[in-house]
Structure 1
């Protein structure tokens, strides 16, 4: 199998999500501590604070352990993202979010959201990479949508 293209890509940043979760859990924690009059509401508040802190821990783990720069290979019938091959018939949609430095998310058939490991942005050959990906999606009859998408942590 001949490679159509090999591209250097980067993962989308998680810092904005991390900072917003820290900020919201801090506000929630202070409001729960100040308003401990109603027991049921304080328990629900503590539950949400614990949930937010678990999300913060997961985000910190992802920031520390996942490689920032990876390589993707576009083959005639599949895409390889960081040694994970995704066949064209297993892809439901390819999302493109943004115009300048767009973020691409590949949503497999068996997932509700695009997994974080299948989200990336082209680094240096952005125009050529997007053109090749669009042509690949057309040839393999994979839907390519230019819109915002949700990704799973």
Structure 2
């Protein structure tokens, strides 16, 4: 198997999600503290705040531990993202979100959303990488959708 192309890519930023979770949980905690007379809303507020805290901890862990720059290699019958090889027959869809710095998400067949480890943006040769990825998806008969997508934490 010879390499078709190897590209430097970066992971999508998690900072906007982190700030929105901190902001929403802060507002919710302040709101539940001011409305102590409604027990159901109070419990819901605490449960939702605990969920937001768990998400914030996961996001902080990812920001600190996951490398920002990785390499994607496009082979004739598979794609290697970092060290994870995905065969073409295991890919259900490739999503492209955005126009200027598009984020690519590879959705495996057995997943509902693209996992975070399979989401990336091209760095240096963005046009060449997107062109090659599009040609690869066409040759392997994989659907390439240009739309917004959710990714799994």
Q: TM-score, length-normalised on structure 1? A: 0.99
- In structure 2, distance between residues paired with 1:66 and 1:111: 21
Q: Deviations over 1:17-67 (max 9, x none)?
A: 000000000000000111110112201110001111111111000100110
Q: 1:75 deviation in Å?
A: 0.2
Q: Which runs of 5+ in 2 are unaligned?
A: none
- In structure 1, distance between residues paired with 2:41 and 2:105: 38
Q: Does 1:61 align with 2:61?
A: yes
Corresponding residue for residue 132 of structure 2: 132
- In structure 2, distance between residues paired with 1:62 and 1:10: 13
Corresponding residue for residue 13 of structure 1: 13
Q: TM-score, length-normalised on structure 2? A: 0.99
Q: 1:95 deviation in Å?
A: 0.3
Corresponding residue for residue 31 of structure 1: 31
- In structure 2, distance between residues paired with 1:72 and 1:128: 13
Please report the RMSD computed on the Cα atoms of aligned residues, expressed in angstroms: 0.5
Corresponding residue for residue 149 of structure 1: 149
Give the SS at the match of 1:114: coil
Runs of 4+ with deviation above 2 angstroms: none
Corresponding residue for residue 79 of structure 1: 79
Q: Which runs of 5+ in 1 are unaligned?
A: none
Corresponding residue for residue 95 of structure 2: 95
- In structure 2, distance between residues paired with 1:36 and 1:69: 47
